Amino acid sequence: MAKKLVIKVTAGADSPERCSQAFTVAAVAVASGVEVSLWLTGESSWFALPGRAAEFELPHAAPLPDLLDSILAGGRVTLCTQCAARREITEKDVLDGVRIAGAQVFVQEATTDDVQALVY
């Protein structure tokens, strides 16, 4: 197993099953002791804002706020710089623990030894 898991989630309410899968895998990995870096891009960018995860609904899925809280508690959550800019989201707007970083940081994380990268 990889020592670190980098997950990029591109989907939000526009593709709820794909979005939920990414957050679920990230949360399960954190709970399993895997080092997790979750990247919010595209429509998932909105979940970097307070209260937005609570608006997400998918039957028979774990509540997104619970998954996000567990990922923030044991892993790292990053909002894509360009995605944030397109949505006029700044560092002062995001949840505590969410950083904003760009493609260079993603590539660095995803290409490090012993890393498995997943994109949803």
Give mean pLDDT, residues 28-52.
97
The pair of three-digit structure tokens given for residue 16, joined into one six-digit string: 């709820």
Instruction: Read off the pTM.
Output: 0.95
- CA proximity to 66, closest of 32, 100, 23: 23
Dihedral of CA atoms 52, 65, 59, 15 in degrees, nearest 10, equals 50
Contact 8, 43 (CB under 8 A): no
The rounded percent of the chain whose pLDDT value lies above 70 is 98
pLDDT at 1 over 80: no
3 confidence band (pLDDT: 50, 70, 90): confident
Tell me the per-residue pLDDT of 88-114, one tens digit each, with 9 for 90 and over. 999 999 999 999 999 999 999 999 999
Mean pLDDT of the chain, nearest integer: 97
Predicted local confidence at residue 2, as pLDDT: 59
Tell me the per-residue pLDDT of 22-39, one tens digit each, with 9 for 90 and over. 999 999 999 999 999 999
CB atoms within 10 A of CB 57: 11
3-state SS track over the chain: CCCEEEEEECCCCCCHHHHHHHHHHHHHHHHCCCEEEEEECHHHHHHHCCCCHHHCCCCCCCCHHHHHHHHHHHCEEEEEHHHHHHCCCCCCCCCCCEEEECHHHHHHHHCCCCEEEEEC
